[in-house]
Amino acid sequence: MEGMVWIVEWDIPSDSAAKRVRFYRALKKLWVASQGEKEMSTQSVLVTDNPELAGEVFNLAKAFGTCHIYEARQIE
Where residue 28 sits, what CATH number does that domain have? 3.30.70
E strand residue ranges, 1-76: 4-11, 45-48, 66-73
pLDDT of amino acid 2:
67
- Tens place of pLDDT for every residue, the chain, 76 residues? 568 999 999 999 888 899 999 999 999 898 888 877 677 776 899 988 899 999 999 999 999 999 999 999 978 7
pLDDT of amino acid 35:
75
Total-model pTM: 0.83
pLDDT of amino acid 32:
87
Would you call 25 helix, strand, or coil by DSSP? helix
Q: Let me know if 6 is exposed, middle or buried by CB neighbors in 10 A (0-12, 13-18, 19+).
A: buried
**How many Å apart are CA 27 and CA 23, to the nearest integer?**
6
Domain that holds residue 23: 4-73
The total domain count for the chain is: 1
